[in-house]
Amino acid sequence: MIRSINLAAPEGANPLIPHTAELIVGAIAFLLLFLVLRSKVVPMFEKAFAARTEAIQGGIERAEKAQLEAQRALAQYNEQLSKAREESQSMREEARAQGAAIIEEMRAKAQEEAARITASAHASIEAERQQAITSLRNEVGAMAVDLASKIVGEALDDQARQSRIVDRFLDDLESSK
């Protein structure tokens, strides 16, 4: 004899509202699950969240430190670069000044050398001119004495007389110019 169980809801009961026993069992199960989650799972999540937050915060701090260090390095690099530029500029100016001084010194030496060579040439020319005048005077004097002795018909052997005659003759020639 099998008795059939009536699974259908009694005629006056609402099928959407659970029975009181089901509500109590569901509430106890929910309460147990809530306590287990709160005591076991939530602390693990909180640890993971705290670790993640700390890692992110530490990463941000490290990034800020790295950025600050990079800014310091950049400032130092720019300072060194500006010092190097200033130093190279001063070296160029110094080299220009030295070059100008060397050029001026070489120009002065060249002018001194040219003046010395010119003076030496003038002295040499003057000495040669004096020598040529003396030589010419002696030759002209000798010719004049020979000519005078041929014209006069007597020998002019006296040296003092020859010298006076030649000097007078040359003076007359120079004054006639």
pLDDT at 135: 85
pLDDT tens digits, residue range 91-100?
999 999 999 9
More confident residue, 130 or 12: 130
Q: Where are the domains positioned within the chain?
A: 20-176
Q: Quick count: other Cβ atoms within 10 Å of Cβ 49?
A: 10
Cα gap 33→29, rounded to integer Å: 6
| Helix residue spans in the chain (DSSP H) | 20-36, 42-152, 159-176
Question: What is the average pLDDT value for the chain, to the nearest integer?
Answer: 85
Cα gap 131→138, rounded to integer Å: 10
Cα gap 79→74, rounded to integer Å: 8
Q: Quick count: other Cβ atoms within 10 Å of Cβ 78?
A: 10
pLDDT at 154: 60
DSSP state of 1: -
pLDDT tens digits, residue range 153-171?
566 666 777 677 777 777 8
Q: Return the structure tokens found at 68.
A: 């600050």
Angle between helices 42-152 and 159-176 (to 10 degrees): 120
* The 3-state secondary structure of 95-134, one letter per residue: HHHHHHHHHHHHHHHHHHHHHHHHHHHHHHHHHHHHHHHH
Cα gap 118→60, rounded to integer Å: 85
Asked if 148 contacts 156 with a C-beta cutoff of 8 angstroms, the reply is: yes
User: What is the longest distance spanned by two Cα atoms in the chain?
Assistant: 207
The pLDDT confidence band at residue 30, using thresholds 50, 70 and 90, is: very high
